[in-house]
């Protein structure tokens, strides 16, 4: 009974794999837990690591009515997963209040990823429909952040956004830092900033060479930096809620030192990403060759049920590897060995 309890409580990797095989045999698929929508490719910052190469609006972005009908209504039919709004900068879209209100009326929880610069303008929306989670990018101390983001004042804006979100009732505000070769050695200096910001937790993302990031491959941290940041995160968890995000891959039996739950790649399994123009992708890649279809051609329910089969099969393979981040290994950056290879002995 004890073992059953342990397995059920922790959604252990072996249960996940067995369940995946079972579902495959029974021709069933899990319902998504979260669906991220790249609301727009427009952004007023110009960060070198941006996975979506954001800047101008993408041609053929979904309209307000399409967003309601093709995304919100479909998510309701899919069992109401969390709707994660991202970009670009989502708050540059004028119809966001309307879409959020519509989603909230349907009983959907929503979350957002933003650089924070426009958050104060949306105070009344956030107070009416507080997001369940909001992630605000923080890429360094003031000078480094502003330099990296290409806009003076963006650091102060991010901190102001965190305060507004907490004031308006957002349940969890996450400060998100993308670890690059430039920022990896500075995360210790960032700790006071994040801890004092009012954020509930600190998510350490790992640079992925996607979008504009692909033009800056030299931003990928060195193996020593990966190991150092991972060790730093483990130590700081004693005093602050620090998490290594999924791009880092699994630390195996040592996952408990880096995150609250064991690593599981959710791409196409429990989550997916809808691109600005309606393409349905396994995760935050901008490579349209990975698309499983477009919402304008087929309903999301159908794409979810029939697509992503390569992620749902059991056995070995690029997409069914339960230890590496699919996006990193797809880009030839399998890095978990470097980050966790020198991990300590487990008692």
Name the 3-class secondary structure at 297: coil
Task: Map tokens 């069992």 to a residue.
Answer: 79
Beta carbon nearer to another protein, 60 or 192: 192
Least distance in Å: CB of 63 to another protein?
25
CA 273 to chain centre: 10
- Determine if 10 is a binding residue for another protein (CB under 8 A): yes
Q: Are strands 271-274 and 172-179 parallel, antiparallel or unpaired?
A: unpaired
Could you tell me the smallest distance in angstroms from the CB atom of residue 335 to another protein? 17
Tell me how many degrees the CA angle 266-270-272 measures, rounded to the nearest 5: 80
Residue of 69, 128, 151, 171 interacting with another protein (CB under 8 A): 171
- Give the shortest CB-280-to-another protein separation in angstroms: 14
Does residue 306 interact with another protein by CB under 8 A?
Answer: yes
β-strand pairing of 280-281 with 271-274: antiparallel
> Which positions from 261 through 280 interact with another protein, judged by CB under 8 A?
261, 264, 266
For another protein, which residue of 2, 59, 107, 332 counts as binding (CB under 8 A)? Answer: 2
For the bound state, the minimum distance from the C-beta of residue 198 to another protein, rounded and expressed in Å, comes to 7
Asked if 335 touches another protein (CB under 8 A), the answer is no
The two structure tokens encoding residue 112: 């957002």
d(CA 23, CA 17): 10
Q: Rounded to the nearest 10 degrees, how much is the dihedral formed by the CA atoms of 185, 188, 190, 191?
A: 160
The nearest distance, CB 150 to another protein, in angstroms, is 19
Separation of first and last alpha carbons in the chain: 24
Min dist. Cβ of residue 60 to another protein (A): 27
Each residue 225-244 as x (binds another protein by CB under 8 A) or -, in order, gives: ---x--xx-xxx-xxxx-x-
Minimum CB distance to another protein smaller for 54 or for 242? 242
Instruction: Give the interface segment with another protein, choosing from 48-56, 97-105, 259-267, 330-338 (CB under 8 A).
Output: 259-267
Residue 170 binding another protein, by CB under 8 A: yes
Judged by CB under 8 A, the stretch of 65-73, 95-103, 300-308, 330-338 that binds another protein is 300-308
Which CB, 53 or 116, lies closer to another protein? 116
Dihedral sign (CA 178, 183, 188, 190): negative
CB of 209 to another protein, least distance (A): 21
Phi, psi (degrees; rounded to nearest 5) at 61: -65, 150
Site for another protein in 30-59 (CB under 8 A): 30-31, 33-34
The closest alpha carbon to 175, from 154, 150, 200, 157, belongs to 200
The residue whose two tokens read 């600190």 is 202
**String of DSSP letters for 91-103:** GG-TTHHHHHHHH
73 binds another protein (CB under 8 A): no
Maximum separation of any 2 CA atoms in the chain, in Å: 58
Give, as ranges, the residues between 74 and 113 that touch another protein (CB under 8 A).
Answer: 78-79, 82, 84, 109, 111
Q: Which residues pair with 55 in a beta bridge?
A: 42
The reply to whether 8 sits near another protein by the rule CB under 8 A is yes
Count of Cβ atoms closer than 10 Å to residue 1 Cβ = 5
Q: Which of residues 109-148 bind another protein (CB under 8 A)?
A: 109, 111, 132-133
- Confirm or reject binding of residue 202 to another protein (CB under 8 A): no
Number of residues counted as binding another protein (CB under 8 A):
81
Length of the chain: 347
Report the residue from 167, 215, 224, 318 that binds another protein according to the rule CB under 8 A: 224
Q: Are 49 and 299 in contact, with CB atoms under 8 Å apart?
A: no
């Amino acid at each position: 009974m004890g073992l059953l309890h342990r397995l059920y409580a922790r959604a252990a990797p072996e249960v996940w794999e067995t369940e995946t095989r079972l579902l495959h045999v029974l021709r069933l698929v899990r319902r998504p837990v979260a669906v991220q929508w790249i609301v727009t490719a427009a952004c007023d910052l110009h960060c070198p690591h941006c996975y979506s190469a954001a800047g101008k609006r993408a041609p053929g972005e979904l309209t307000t009515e399409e967003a309601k009908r093709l995304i919100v209504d479909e998510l309701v039919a899919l069992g109401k997963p969390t709707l994660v709004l991202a970009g670009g900068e989502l708050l540059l879209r004028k119809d966001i209040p309307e879409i959020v209100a519509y989603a909230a009326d349907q009983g959907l929880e929503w979350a957002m990823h933003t650089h924070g610069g426009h958050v104060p303008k949306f105070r009344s929306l956030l107070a009416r429909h507080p997001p369940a989670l909001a992630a605000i990018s923080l890429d360094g101390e003031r000078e480094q952040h502003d330099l990296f983001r290409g806009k003076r004042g963006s650091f102060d804006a991010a901190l102001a956004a965190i305060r507004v979100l907490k004031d308006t009732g957002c349940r969890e505000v996450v400060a998100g830092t993308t670890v690059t070769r430039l920022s990896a050695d500075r995360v210790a200096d960032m700790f006071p900033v994040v801890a004092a910001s009012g954020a509930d937790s600190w998510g350490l993302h790992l640079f992925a060479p996607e979008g504009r990031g692909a033009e800056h491959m030299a931003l990928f941290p060195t193996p020593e930096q990966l190991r150092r940041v991972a060790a730093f995160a483990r130590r700081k968890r004693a005093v602050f809620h620090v998490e290594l995000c999924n791009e880092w891959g699994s630390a195996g039996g040592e996952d408990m030192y880096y995150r609250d739950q064991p690593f599981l790649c959710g791409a196409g399994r429990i989550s997916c990403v809808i691109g600005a123009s309606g393409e349905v992708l396994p995760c935050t890649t901008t490579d349209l060759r990975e698309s499983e279809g477009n919402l304008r051609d087929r309903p999301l329910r159908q794409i979810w049920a029939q697509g992503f089969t390569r992620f749902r099969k059991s056995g070995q393979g690029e997409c069914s590897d339960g230890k590496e981040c699919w996006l990193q290994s797809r880009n030839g950056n399998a890095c978990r060995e470097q980050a966790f290879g020198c991990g300590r002995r487990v008692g």
